[in-house]
Amino acid sequence: MKVAVFSTKPYEKTYLEKFNHEGNHHLVYFDNSLNLASAEQAKGFEAVCVFVSDILDENTIAKLASLGVKLIDLRSAGFNNVDIVAAKKHNLKILRVPAYSPQAIAEHAVALILTLNRKTHKAYNRVREGNFSVEKLMGFNLFGKTVGIIGTGKIGTAFAKIMLGFGCKVLANDLLESKELQAEGVHYTTFDEVLAASDIVSLHCPLTHETKHLFDSKAFDKMKTGAMLINTSRGAIINTSHAVVALKKRKLGYLGIDVYEEEESLFFKDLSESLIQDDVIERLMSFHNVLITPHLGFFTEEALEQIVKITLKNFSDFEKGLPSENEVV
């Protein structure tokens, strides 16, 4: 099948080429993202293969359909960047990679917690400059602390198990309660109760109409003063401007984010010699107790291999007209 692969990074191309063994699929790579302005590039392709920074809104989807595209294949689990209603209207199938390595993202959430808490990033820089002082590097024990999880699906489950291993008390809120986690000692309760009782809150629910800006000023007010908030899910679950206020008021003690609501214009790009126009992220970057990583939770060898293998299988299944459990319906 002839596929236009958008937002391609060199490491993805390497993996796609490696696993597209027999050249089953004719992949054409574009390093720019897919949006209305670039949609014309999909002319002559049956499928587009996209990532989290591609914007497939109604107009873009209408354009893709008019060019003869039949499949939108996401190299991600989240699909909030695709207008599903518009895709249905225009008869475009959407396939994704629902699960590839939940541990990769869960472990990254833990990395954010440990770095913010034990300040290893600051110690590293200090020691390189010959400063061996431990002043202002004090952290806290995770053992015995209460960790709240919003969303205990695949990633939330992997994260819960790690935090239980640290000796934390784990509270959770989800529309569905996992018997497996309950048996391991996770206690399900209301959203408000999770916020009120947790020293650390980690977000693992998808971005939906219900979860957009779930963490706004009202939610921050419900949290323990000085608590840590970790977001490896999707940026817009947090109202970032409200988070800035909560940080300034010292209500929020730490913020660790791998995702940001305006990340499309920033993440996955080297802007080291550009003037960043986004004042909100600039303000966030100025806080000593904020840690930002550029959406790299998924970025492990194991996860990338799985993403690529499932993506190629999605192309093959579509081509053969096979039903797929990876279809977004």
Q: Is 46 one of the annotated active-site residues of the chain?
A: no
Q: Which of 233, 306, 314, 326 binds ligand NAI (CB under 6 A)?
A: 233
Does position 78 interact with ligand NAI (CB under 6 A)? The reply is yes
Strand order in the sheet with 2-5: 26-29, 2-5, 47-50, 71-74, 93-95
| Span of 57-65, 167-175, 279-287, 306-314 interacting with ligand NAI by CB under 6 A | 167-175
- Is 108 within 8 Å of 231 (Cβ atoms)? no
Closest CA to 280 of 235, 241, 252: 241
Closest CA to 224 of 260, 192, 248: 192
State the Cα–Cα distance between residues 204 and 224, nearest whole angstrom.
Answer: 19
List the x/- string, 10-29, binding to ligand NAI by CB under 6 A: --------------------
Pairing of strands 169-173, 187-188: parallel
- Is 171 within 8 Å of 197 (Cβ atoms)? yes
Closest CA to 263 of 76, 97, 86: 76
| Span of 13-21, 28-36, 151-159, 277-285 interacting with ligand NAI by CB under 6 A | 151-159
State the Cα–Cα distance between residues 112 and 258, nearest whole angstrom.
Answer: 8
Q: Which of 82, 163, 171, 205 binds ligand NAI (CB under 6 A)?
A: 205
The residue (of 210 and 279) whose beta carbon lies closer to ligand NAI is: 210
The residue (of 42 and 95) whose beta carbon lies closer to ligand NAI is: 95
Does position 156 interact with ligand NAI (CB under 6 A)? The reply is yes
| H or E element in which residue 145 lies | none
Distance of closest approach, residue 294 Cβ to ligand NAI, in angstroms: 10
Contact residues: ligand NAI, CB under 6 A? 77-78, 99, 102, 105, 150-156, 173-176, 204-208, 210-211, 232-234, 258-259, 295, 297-298
Q: Which residues are catalytic?
A: 234, 263, 295
